[in-house]
Structure 1
Amino acid sequence: MEKPITTLYSKYDTALRYLIVGGLTTGINVVLFFGLTHLAMPWFWANIIAWVLSVLFAFIANKKVVFNSADMTFRTVVKEGASFFTLRGASLLADTAILFIGLTLMHGSPLIVKLIDQVVVIVLNYGFSKLIFA
């Protein structure tokens, strides 16, 4: 007889791994964003740099850890990478729009706006990742 925790892990293992990788990706994004803005970089450029580096991390981690995609041929990696970055580009548009509205138009707290932004981005990215790796 399986233990309840084993049953739960078996049922939700992909989602749990995605949440862990997503949390790390979000951490990378937020730390880079705030680090760069504290160095007087405009929020737009700080967000672009944070996005590129966090999406690169997310691609590698999602491919290997979350979705166990074992095909490492050059052609497959380029195809998956192009799809991953393209779909994440859609979430970058949402990310930038939320930051623009929250920071520029509403003059909100950068921390609160960025955290709200990241919740929306995580939900979008999970759906996009399932399309690529599942």
Structure 2
Amino acid sequence: MKQFIKKIREDTKLQEIISYLFFGGMTTLVNFVVFFIARNLFGWNLVISNTLSWIFSVLFAFATNKKWVFKSKTTDLTQTLAELGKFFFYRIVSFGIDMGCMLFFIDGLNMGDFWAKFITQVIIVIANYVFSKFLIFTKKNS
């Protein structure tokens, strides 16, 4: 076990993946909580509930990805705004994937809300890692 912990401390790529999974899990939790509050407590429809959950989770994800996962060191406003713009652009792409999956699973396959949301979020976490790692928080932005 000590060797495993030592390996994690020395391997920055492994630290990044673990951090991304942790904060991705926290982002998913934000997404789930907001979605089910909107859907079940307020009785809002699927599209409004999913959109609201997306907005809250994107704001949370940007802050955590920038600071703790990819440790972006943007130094000026132009660089920061470029990251923010790319982040929101690719999150809109993933929102389209999210909404398409939710509608397909719930309306097309008659799947329950929970399992549809769960499967969709696994897909989204993977897509967002690829977008963030290779297209948003790149070393050339630092």
TM-score interval (norm. to shorter): over 0.9
Match for residue 100 of structure 2? 97
Match for residue 137 of structure 2? 133
Gapped regions of structure 2 (runs ≥ 5): none
| Distance in structure 1 (CA, Å) of the matches to 2:107 and 2:4 | 48
| Distance in structure 1 (CA, Å) of the matches to 2:111 and 2:105 | 5
How far does residue 91 in structure 1 lie from its aligned partner after superposition?
0.9
Give CA-to-partner distance per residue, 1:53-112, whole Å, 9 cap, x none.
Answer: 100110111000001112253222211011001011111111001110111222211000
Gapped regions of structure 1 (runs ≥ 5): none
Match for residue 46 of structure 2? 43
| Distance in structure 1 (CA, Å) of the matches to 2:98 and 2:4 | 38
Match for residue 8 of structure 1? 8
Which is further off, 109-118 or 6-15?
Answer: 6-15
How far does residue 4 in structure 1 lie from its aligned partner after superposition?
3.4
Root mean square deviation, CA, Å: 1.4
| Distance in structure 1 (CA, Å) of the matches to 2:85 and 2:21 | 22
Match for residue 33 of structure 1? 35
Match for residue 61 of structure 1? 64
* Equivalent residues, number: 133
Kindly provide the amino acid, as one letter, of the partner of residue 34 in structure 1: F
| Distance in structure 1 (CA, Å) of the matches to 2:32 and 2:4 | 35
